[in-house]
Amino acid sequence: MHRLQRTALALALFLPFAAIAADPLRYVILVDGGKQAGEHVVTEQPDGSIKTRFIFKDNGRGPEVDEEYKLRPDGTFEKYKATGTTTFGAKVDEQFERIGNRATWKSTSETGEQTVDGAALYMPLGGSPQSSSIAIAAVAKRGDGTLPLLPGGTLQQSVAQELEVEADGVKQTVQLLVHTGIGLAPQLSWATKGKAGEDPRLFAFIVPGYLVAIEEGWEKNAEAMTKVQQTTETALVRDFAQRHFQPLDGLTVIKNARIFDSEHATLAKDLSDVYVLRGRITAIVPAGSPNAGVENTVDAAGRVLLPGLFDMHAHEFDKWGGPLHLASGVTTVRDMGNDNASLQQLIDASARGDVMEPKIIPAGFLEGESPMSARNGFVIKNLDEAKHAIDWYHQHGYPQLKIYNSFPKEILKDTVAYAHSRGLRVSGHIPVFLRAQDAVDAGYDEIQHINQLMLNFLVKPDTDTRTLERFRLPAHEVADLDFGSKPVQDFIASLKANNVAVDPTLATFDYIRQRPGEISAVYATVLDHLPLELQRRFKVADMDIPDDATAARYNKSYEKMVQFVGLLHQAGITVVPGTDALPGFTLHSELELYVKAGMTPAEALQSATWTSAGVGRVQHDRGKIAEGMAADLVVVEGDPTKDIGAIRKAVLVMGQGKVVYPAATFGGMGIRGFGEDLLVDKSSRDDRRLR
């Protein structure tokens, strides 16, 4: 799960219960069709305080948190304390107290104090699902559907649907709630309706295709609840898309543009006019050439025109990452592992225009059976099952396969060979108890993540890379790696000789050196554009870094990982940019890291356009600006071939025959834009004569 999804889960699943019965209330957390991955237990104490125990483990990692709190008469926190560990092992130690109108709080990443008048709910940074329940009850006490938040903001709550559920002959009505005012998108959760003398509380939280957290005993209702939730979310997303992903009818000209030639990584000196019709580039002519029948005009006024960018490592688990991608200039994403049914539904919804989503290149997820399996896609036990999965992916048009951590090493080579025989590329993590060189020898076409490359030099035959060791080892040991040594140089030569591409996701691994309260360099540039709650969460550390010496070591390891990508590029190895993190913004930072590693800005742009189109097998359709190609286009302020950071200043994006105004789209998600939108002038619709 990438960082945006962890953040969304934290904001929606880990938001503040109220009226709790004396007997413990237990939630079970199920993933991937019913596997229990955690629980949340809420117990009222004799003194009226509440204790909770929350644990969630999936894919070899996850948080463990204990909470204790007391509520005020208005349903908000009077006292709150949380201890435990985060997903990757960092310490959770957070407390809040309100005495009268004075609220104070402290965690590993922040300290705050505020004067408060009336009800206001503190938003814990390292908490459990209990925060959602407290919020639900506190809103009900106010009666106006809103709740002020601390340190800032306002939660808005509305009821979208009601559904009758049943367990052991007992029936009750639950409500599907929509929360806005936190995070980047509406967040959906299920609540009890609340009877006389009883506060409503969180009943379930569902991530369709991935996770269900629900009161124990009511699990059989999850399927029906999921269908209702998907219908509601589809309507919300469709409404957003209709407002921010607007059809571009008729012939359009983008005039006076400086075109970036992605195939040769050069920027044209002369200006051009680019004609677009029904999502295709129909002509490219010198600026000022006569035109006929133009209905829409965009005056680039000397700005740079880029092909749409590619994010080659995304996970489109929800429908709200698409607007972030598109507003950031990302018009194609490669989905690197998803619930198969959910991804197919998303691709279909995109084709119908129901969602605001880039074009998707799907990678088929293939995992082996183990207690630590990630259960996206197919989880197999033997070669026959692996072949069946590959056949399914081939029949559904997947151009490649992604192999994961628990895949059985004994059948790796035969599996890769079968995938190749069906025309699929093969990439992935390195299966446990193997090294990256073993994957290259087995026929991999591509390797994901910088840590998977570094582990080649660090693992022993018994190192279990399904655990957090796959992060801890590189963080601790890469600092001492000699990149000039024969093992390292031989490995680089092997990658080149076997034409193995690399998707390093450098930006997302910046977290290995982040300490509590620090701002990751990946998001520092955009942080003050984001909603307050995200700003707070991007200061929370993921890794356990106990002292300055460890911090210095982890920082050195990370800097050397960046350096290693530069060595790969110098050796002629194909590097494609992926994020596995917050959509849009993270890709910009990934490209900045490539420039830091030694690419020129133009080469970094080439990697995110023409090179990625080649690896994604879509160079016939997109990846460069040429007649007949898809009109996936981005107009930017500044010159990103000189300053790669200029790609953040997209002022107009086109894709799929539609137009996106970045600042307006960002604004719809609570983000402050990066410039003034360049609008399409439709006045020429009234004058279609030859000119």
Tokens encoding 599: 């690419």
What average pLDDT does range 4-24 have in this prediction? Answer: 43
pLDDT value of residue 685: 57
- The reported pLDDT for the residue numbered 17 is 32
| Inter-residue contact 106 to 95 (CB < 8 Å) | yes
The two domains 248-307+622-691 and 309-604 share their CATH topology (first three levels equal): no
Residues 552 and 472: beta-carbon distance below 8 Å: no
pLDDT in tens, 95-115: 999 999 999 999 999 999 999
Q: What is the DSSP string of 456-493?
A: GGT--TT--TTSTHHHHHHHHHGGG--TTSHHHHHHHH
What's the pLDDT score for residue 22?
A: 53
Mean pLDDT, the chain, rounded, equals 93
**End-to-end C-alpha distance for the chain, whole angstroms:** 54
pLDDT of residue 78: 97
pLDDT for 690 beyond 70: no
pLDDT in tens, 558-573: 999 999 999 999 999 9
- Show me where the domains of the chain are located: 3-243, 248-307+622-691, 309-604
pLDDT at 422 over 50: yes
Tens of pLDDT along 173-195? Answer: 999 999 999 889 999 999 999 77
416 pLDDT more than 50: yes
Question: What are residue 421's DSSP bridge partners?
Answer: none
pLDDT of residue 5: 41
Residue 10 predicted with pLDDT over 50: no
pLDDT, greater one: 503 or 33:
503
Tell which wins on pLDDT, 18 or 645: 645
Report pLDDT digits (tens) over 53-111: 999 998 888 999 999 999 999 999 999 999 999 988 999 999 999 999 999 999 999 99
Alpha-carbon Rg for the chain in angstroms: 26
Banded model confidence at residue 684, pLDDT cuts 50, 70, 90: low
Give dist(CA 63, CA 122) in Å, integer. Answer: 20
Rounded to an integer, what is the distance from CA 676 to the centroid of its chain?
Answer: 26
Give yes or no for a contact between 275 and 282, defined as CB atoms under 8 angstroms apart: yes
The mean per-residue pLDDT over the stretch 259-276 comes to 98
Give Cβ neighbours of residue 481 (< 8 Å, ≥ 6 apart).
454, 457, 488, 560
Mean pLDDT over residues 225-253, rounded? 95
Is 464's pLDDT higher than 50? yes
Token pair belonging to 587: 């890709």
CATH topology of domain 248-307+622-691: Urease, subunit C; domain 1 (2.30.40)
pLDDT of residue 271: 98
Helix (H) or strand (E) holding 426: strand 425-428
Q: Is the pLDDT of residue 275 over 90?
A: yes
* pLDDT tens per residue across span 466-505: 999 999 999 999 999 999 999 999 999 999 999 999 999 9
Q: How confident is the model at residue 375 (pLDDT cuts 50, 70, 90)?
A: confident
pLDDT reported for residue 319:
86
Q: How many helices (H) and strands (E) does the chain have?
A: 18, 33
- In terms of CATH architecture, what is 309-604? Alpha-Beta Barrel (3.20)
Give the chain's length: 691
